Amino acid sequence: MNYQIDAGHSYRNENYRARERIRVKRLYSRTKHGTLGGFSSSTELVDWWIRKFDEQDGRCAYCETSIDRINRLINADLLRTRKVKRNGKRGPCLELERKNPNLDYSPENCALICYYCNNDKSYVYSEAEYRQFFAPARARHFEYLAQKI
């Protein structure tokens, strides 16, 4: 399956936004994001997600690589995705990240990051450590791969 969003800065495309709204709404868990977190409803999470996506210009909050570039790398078989249940894949979309894993999911504690930074950071590094030591290397790696396209 081709994960290309569209030509150019297509993450601003309304079709992409509509698909993201549906995808994010499905991800919402009342327990995880609502009762224990700072998002009272799936609609609140979706609205926050789209605002944050626009603020970040469709880029990972850590390595600052655009999701469009990541999708081009995936489509060129230069990056692998991770299969998840129901034919899903991690990699082609930005993911919800808790900057401090010890705090709840809330607008103040969350950012949108790429799967690759999310997988690297996990619960091992603080946001500051990851930004300082690992995010720049991740960005350089993506730049290196992009030169092969």
Write out the CATH class of domain 10-146.
Answer: alpha beta
Residue 115 burial by Cβ neighbours in a 10 Å radius (0-12, 13-18, 19+): buried
Label the pairing between strands 88-90 and 110-113: unpaired
Asked if the model's pLDDT at residue 35 lies above 80, the reply is: no
SS3 of residue 90 by DSSP: strand
Q: Which residues pair with 88 in a beta bridge?
A: 84
Q: What pLDDT was estimated at residue 12? A: 61
Report the pLDDT value the prediction gives residue 118, as an integer from 0 to 100.
Answer: 94
Q: What is the mean pLDDT of the chain?
A: 85
**Residue length of the chain:** 149
pLDDT tops 80 at residue 17 = no
- Residue 81: the pLDDT is 92
Classify residue 65 by its DSSP letter.
Answer: -
Instruction: Give the lowest-confidence range in 22-26, 54-58, 78-82, 115-119.
Output: 22-26
Domain ranges of the chain: 10-146
Q: What are phi and psi of 102, to 5 degrees?
A: -85, -10
Angle between helices 14-27 and 42-55 (to 10 degrees): 130
pLDDT in tens, 37-67: 678 888 888 999 999 999 999 999 999 999 9
